[in-house]
Amino acid sequence: MGLISVLSSSCQSDAVFDQSESLAEHGWVQKKQIVFPFEIQDTTKTYDLQVAMRQSNDYPFYNLYFNCRLIQENKGVWKKAFAEAILYDPKTGKPKGGGVGDMYSHSYTILKGLKFPRRGKYQVELEQYMRTDTLVGVVSVGASLIPSAN
């Protein structure tokens, strides 16, 4: 998957799930998978999976590579994506995303137009894929599943 695009904020009151995990004290440890369970009831709709990140100026790189997997209960990996989040402009160092002070928020659509094969339990697994064991400055990571606009 190439470069992913930043999304503007949208109302997510109709989200199947919208969860985040705070990593403020330790950063994102490479071996730590962030897991968000959810349940699908309506298989006739299509959905978009979004990932949100908050980082401080303590984050040492301009980008962040991560893996995203959708797991279907008792069936294993259903969909997966490798993504790159661009947190700072690589030439100027200017932070991207919205923020106040030294904290910045980013939202990315990772998988579009998902049509789930059956009702039931699923989970999203997120895992950082950088060469550093612990990514300091990553304050929180979240995910949401929203009905597709189309």
Q: What is the pLDDT of residues 7-60, one digit of tens each?
A: 333 444 689 999 999 997 789 999 899 999 999 999 999 999 999 999 999 999
Structure tokens at 139: 């304050």
Structure tokens at 68: 């995203």
Whether pTM exceeds 0.95: no
Q: Residue 63 sits in a domain of what CATH number?
A: 2.60.40
Query: What is the number of domains present in the chain?
Result: 1
Q: Which residue has the tokens 């699923």?
A: 122
Q: What percent of the chain has pLDDT over 70?
A: 91
CA dist 129 → 9, 84, 113 (Å): 26, 9, 25
Q: Is residue 18 part of a domain?
A: no
Q: Using one digit for the tens of pLDDT, what is the confidence trace for 69-114?
A: 999 999 999 999 999 999 999 899 888 888 888 899 999 999 999 9
58 forms beta bridges with none
Q: Give the amino acid at 119.
A: R
Structure tokens at 104: 């910045």
Give me the domain span that covers residue 53.
28-132
Q: Is residue 150 part of a domain?
A: no
Contact indicator for 59, 113 with CB cutoff of 8 Å: no
